[in-house]
Amino acid sequence: MRFVVKLGGHSLDDLTVASSVLNSLSEDLDALRSEGHQVCLVHGGGPQIDALLGALNIESSFIDGLRVTSKEAVSGIQMALSAVNASLVTVLGAKGLSTVGLSGFDGNLATSSPLDGPWGQVATDLKIDPVLLLGLMESGFVPVLSPVVSNGKGNLLNCNADELAGAVASALKADALFLLSDIDQIRSDVNDSTTGLDRVSLEELKLMTIDGRASGGMLPKAKAAIAASSQGASRVIVANAALPNVITRILRNQAKATEVVA
């Protein structure tokens, strides 16, 4: 089986070998690999991007859950995400996983046009060439993928990590996509933590993106889940990365999460 895991939000605040999230993740990924499954990890890095752009005095804001990205911000975002990628590869490697750090522009595995408008240099309509990822996974490696992609013309674009994970899961025809961040579930009311959904249909999730129930940071997650589910991922699951061994527990039906169903 083939799995894509997206890790983001404040689960990446601690990128050391002492991180409880990374210790738990390494155990889950190692268990999947030992059972003969293939795994690709996609990561975000919002807090690190915020810190670096702040240090560079580059303004940063969000519209509909996507970071507004000027041309001068792209290089700062790439620097921050490169540091996150290196830390993840190093820490997971120290836990015994065979990891390879990549960005979306490596091997032109992810190309896109810029969204432009108020968002600027933000990727849209991703095109994924999975050959590089497949080769690494089939050789026993876990690709660790940073969400910076190419426009195919020599320029970099910032890409929402949820959207990249969804596109990668679709291209790989993944058996499951895990979207792991700071929330337990997709909510029927984004501002009310008691409205978490155990299951949501693909059609209902699409409606939620239209009527505003999926808004802010929830919107990219919903769109990624829709894209992955519509284009070949067998299961799409949203869960909290802070829950110990969350992937293993989800596969055993022992964890609170939201599964998108056709």
pLDDT tens digits for range 38-89: 999 999 998 999 999 999 999 888 887 788 898 889 999 999 999 999 999 9
pLDDT of residue 186: 83
Report the Cα 103 to chain-centroid distance in Å.
Answer: 12
List the domain boundaries for the chain.
2-261
pLDDT tens digits for range 159-197: 989 889 989 998 998 999 999 988 788 888 878 888 888
3-state secondary structure the chain: CEEEEEECHHHHCCCCCCCHHHHHHHHHHHHHHHCCCEEEEEECCHHHHHHHHHHCCCCCCEECCEECECHHHHHHHHHHHHHHHHHHHHHHHHCCCCEEEEECCHHHCEEEEEEECCCEEEEEEEEECCHHHHHHHHCCCEEEEECEEECCCCCEEECCHHHHHHHHHHHHCCCEEEEEECCCCCECCCCCHHHECCEEEHHHHHHHHHHCCCCCCHHHHHHHHHHHHHCCCCCEEEEECCCCCHHHHHHCCCCCCEEEEC
Query: What CATH number has the domain spanning 2-261?
Result: 3.40.1160.10
pTM (two decimals) = 0.91
pLDDT tens digits for range 202-237: 888 888 888 888 877 778 778 778 877 776 677 889
